[in-house]
Structure 1
Amino acid sequence: MAGNSDPLTPRAKLAVTAGKAVAAASRAAGRGSGSVIGGRVALKLDPDLLARLAQNLDCVLVSATNGKTTTTRLIAEALRAAGPVVSNALGANMPAGITSALAGGSDAKFAVIEVDEKYLAGVARDTDPKCIALLNLSRDQLDRAAETRMLAENWREGLAGSKAVVVANADDPLVVWAASSSPNVIWVAAGQMWKDDAWSCPSCGGVMQRPGDDWFCGECGFRRPTPSWALSGDHVLDPHGSAWPIHLQLPGRANKANAASSAAVAAVFGVPPQVALERMYQVQAVAGRYDVVQFQGRDLRLLLAKNPAGWLETFSLIDPPPTPVILSVNARSADGTDTSWLWDVDYTRLTGHPICVVGDRKLDLAVRLEVADQQFQVCESLDQAVQLCPPGRIEVIANYTAFQDLRRRVGN
């Protein structure tokens, strides 16, 4: 526990100090938070630094394609009921960013860490987590992680025999396959709107049967496990069958699912569902997501959607037509340079909304909207798009770097 003797060697202390100095210099130069470059420098000086920083902390790792930043925030809020928390709240979720975050949490008892899917097994080895939350797996950044089943296999092998309590979504067959190698799993019925990455059985390749909310493989018998926690409308059902109301300022069904998983994680650390869920109400926005900002005399709600599953969830929470919608898509390295995923998104859900299109890949998106028979205008900038939108609040949906561009432009 925190408060034990100092685990850091002189070399580790030097690495932390150097990393913080580099991060501060990066911030001073206006190059962002500096957490990644600071972590890289620190790990160069002491490759075991992440493990050293984690050894006095009760760690929770959170990984998924969608929702991991928000869920990390919700879990961190819940665990603050039991002690100080350190977390990589800004989403720097590879080893350098994680190391940087932990280096800043000297008095913490808990570490709640968002982890990029590809790095989960390695970070789990280094941090010896008490709990790992696995939410979902779907296609994302196709040039970098083309095959979701390979990611599930990587998780499955990396977590085999882990001492961690794994809190896993029973409704995602890929997550269930990945978690099934772990000896201690708590299953949560968190739901799954996007099913197009799990039509074949991850265990044998057979065709999945999906009657209602259930799923199973007709060939090998791989099937949905019985959950002990469940999202049920606006409530979380705990293992005793008690229903706890979810009160969130964050919109949408996906965030209720994130809250259900977060309540299950909090319970691992002895925080009761009522306390955990009440604390989650404090979260209004996550790194700018869901924020409503004033820009050019208009209210813009900023929504992040990075991949087909994320766009599907986002469409379900925007205000009904004729609310105007601005869509922005980039394809820089942090987004994945392959935009073919645009063809997997059902843009007919935007019928009736006036649409403006911006971003580096606005023409790719325009072609897709044309095929989906949508009415839209291509704009050169956010400013132009806002001026063209009819009155009322505007929903702005963007993928990762496009979202960062928008936040800078609106001063958020």
Structure 2
Amino acid sequence: MSTKYFALLTQLGADKLANAAALGTKLAITQMAVGDGGGVLPTPDTTQTKLVNERRRATINTLNVDPKNAHQIIAEQVIPESEGGWWIREIGLFDQDGVLIAVGNCPETYKPQLQEGSGRTQTIRMVLIVSHTDAVTLKIDPSVVLATREYTDTAVKKAIDDHEKSRRHPDATLKEKGLVILSSALDSQSESQAATSKAVKAVHDLVIAASNNANTRLEKEKNGADISDKNAFINNLGLAAMTTMGKHIVTFTQAGVHTWDVPDELRSGALNAHITVYGGGGGGGFYHHGGGGGGGGGLAESSLSLRGINSITITVGSGGRGATSHKMINSGSTSLFGNYLSATGGHGASAWLGGRSGIGISGQVNCGTGAGHNATRHDNSNSQYGGGNGGGMNGGAGSGSGTPEASGYDGELIGSGGGGGNENGIGGNGSAGAVIIRW
């Protein structure tokens, strides 16, 4: 009786296997396909390059040399119960290049789908007899295949047997896991022993006792009232300088250059200094119909660390003189706190036009204190109005209307502009700027 079911190498498969054996390379068989033979049982042919009617191709689950026959290679694939709906009559093995290496037929069997009302996991096995099994790569990717029950049982048994044969349980170290000896000692410095629950509880009790003792030493409900020497406590915290913070102020209001010696608490860096600089006010204007008011000085403010600084050169800008002719413009001078920040003087009035305000430079806050006002009358009609008021915090008032050649008033507060004169009246003087230091 002739053989009805068999598998054989294709011509391409035989050539590849022979070439691998001759060159000492490997033939990587990676996939198995099944087909229905087009409805009839096919006869395997060495000239085949594909199955008659392929229905499924997937990665091989296992590929091993038969432990009972060194010339036989056993390939297995598991088809899950979720796939099916066709007959299985033919089987093919493919290498990593997609070349059909071996082809075989099998007794026809129907692989149902789960939604048909019956499902099963189908295992397909093909056995190849080759002369050089060492020329075939026996490797699969376990992350993309299903394992058969036999494969799983074998792998688990081997792992257990290997473990039982070794019976090697090393001691634990700081870098490797292993066995440790338990210890209840509280003063041990061992790095190879583990603490018992008894030792952990003893340490816990010591921590609680120390915490209770600390609570009675300095009770938060008393808010520091139980501190015997409060000044020494503040000094020990390095907060002595902060107790006087905001109580000191130094003011420079006289126009000119001054030298300021930095106090110890600022030089040490314990406190920052808050600096305010005002520029001098601009002079009032002169015009035959009424002069404009001088502009207020600029303003700059900053909070600075003066750590390591012994002294600072301070310049207080002078106020601009009132104009004595319509072509004269006398602006206020700039005030400076060293090279840190400055404020320009207010612009002097130009005839009847009020002067612009000065500006702050390099401060954290920079602004002006206000421009001078234009003369309230600057045409050729009869006198009804007077000179413009000076800008700033309290600029000088312009001379009143109806008083020819009346002078404008001087600026009163720091950095204020002078008032404008009326009908050829001399403009008022701007006031000097200032530098104010607080800490």
TM-score (norm 2): 0.17
Say which structure is richer in strand. 2
TM-score (norm 1): 0.17
Say which one has the larger Rg: 2
